[in-house]
Amino acid sequence: MQKTARFVVTFVVLALMVTACGGDSADDGPDGTTVDGGETDGGAAACALDQVDGDLNFYNWSDYMDPELITAFEEQYAVDIVEDFYESNEAMLAQLQAGASYDVIVPSDYMIGIMIQGSLLNSINTGAVPNMANLGERFTTLPYDPGNVYSAPYQYGTTGLGVNKSVVGEDFPRSWALIFDPELTATYPSGVSVLNDPRETMGAALKYLGYSLNDTDLAHLQEAADTISAALGGIATFDSDQYEESLANGEVPISHGYSGNMITAIGDAANPDDFEYILPEEGATLWIDNMVVPVSAENPCTAFTFINYLLDAENGATLTNFNYYGSPNAAALALVEPEVVEFYAATEEAENLEVIQDTGDYEINFTDYLATAKG
């Protein structure tokens, strides 16, 4: 799928060695089961390569999967895929804990640790997913799931701001002030768009105040909530679904969101040179999304086959060329559009990007404080 995307970014770095969320590690057995107390149950370990055991219920972020890949999988394996969407990791977890059943889910890094600790995940059946070997080396030593026992990296990216320069001008502050400074947002009559995501939005406010997005001081979290509350007059919407479209079609001049969605929307806009995607100078989020199979999955064999399908080199490249996110699939990179590879190339500057960490029992505070801040 060809896209022409024009984008500028302060810097992007794959800082995978940053301390991330916890979780007990374990060693894989020869059949893909987990040796250290987490053996795959429900028959998942017995799945053979390319085996399917029913239709696939897929729970994913919006605008993240190429529909042509879905169609091709359905035709190749004679199954249907039903795809549902969520706005945040926390919303996804709540649905899963409430009894929702999905075969493949795509949580972010810190949420993997939470799900492992909650015994919510099957281990990856490596016999049914031999394309795990296509992952780049740095994606096989992730701190939240060492050795990829429970998860297979899907895509990675950053969270920043999309800016319409035809509205805000060329000389705008490259800062979270664009969404949090009431005096600044008051100059934008239509308001700004902010993600409806506790960790991302509270994290952005914390970074704006000079703190870590993983800060666990309640006084600092209250400052962040107060910052969001004070900015409400200039916030048009809390949106994790249509934010990039709102930017590209002129509904808002500033939009908080994820790199790939921003880049594709800017590239598809009628006037792409008017837009820019930035990482604020105070710092931003680096994230890695992963494919997992919950223990409640009704069709785990189809799930493993689907994961293996997406980790194929050609399919992995098709996915990245569709959504413009970074690919952890080293075998796919030669087939990825060069501008995407260059955009996500690692640099030596890691100071301004952070990986969201699992803060344990403190985690609920991000959700509660955002809800209070929104009123």
Three-class secondary structure assignment of 280-318: CCCCEEEEEEEEECECCCCCHHHHHHHHHHHCCHHHHHH
Q: Is pLDDT at 2 greater than 50 in this prediction?
A: no
Please give the mean pLDDT across all residues of the chain. Answer: 88
The pLDDT of residue 358 is 94
Q: How big is the CA angle at 320 (ends 316 and 325), to the nearest 5 degrees?
A: 130
Mean pLDDT of 264-278: 94
d(CA 361, CA 223): 20
The pLDDT of residue 211 is 97
d(CA 147, CA 142): 7
Least trusted range by pLDDT, from 3-12, 40-49, 155-164, 321-330: 3-12
For 80, which DSSP code?
-
- Domain 47-156+287-346 shares a fold with domain 158-285+357-374: yes
Question: If pLDDT is split at 50, 70 and 90, which confidence band does 344 have?
Answer: confident
- Please write the tens of the pLDDT for every residue from 129-157: 999 999 999 999 999 999 999 999 999 99
What residue spans define the domains of the chain?
47-156+287-346, 158-285+357-374
**Under 8 Å between Cβ of 203 and 227:** no
The pLDDT of residue 112 is 97
The pLDDT of residue 351 is 64
d(CA 28, CA 152): 14
The pLDDT of residue 25 is 34
d(CA 278, CA 168): 14
Mean pLDDT of 30-43: 35
d(CA 154, CA 240): 19
Task: Determine the topology of domain 158-285+357-374 in CATH.
Answer: D-Maltodextrin-Binding Protein; domain 2 (3.40.190)
Torsion of CA 301, 70, 132, 84, to 10 degrees: -70
d(CA 195, CA 339): 26
Could you give the percent of the chain with pLDDT greater than 90? 83
Q: Is pLDDT at 217 greater than 60 in this prediction?
A: yes
Angle between helices 313-323 and 67-77 (to 10 degrees): 150
Whole-prediction pTM: 0.85
On whether the 47-156+287-346 domain is CATH 3.50.50.60, my answer is no
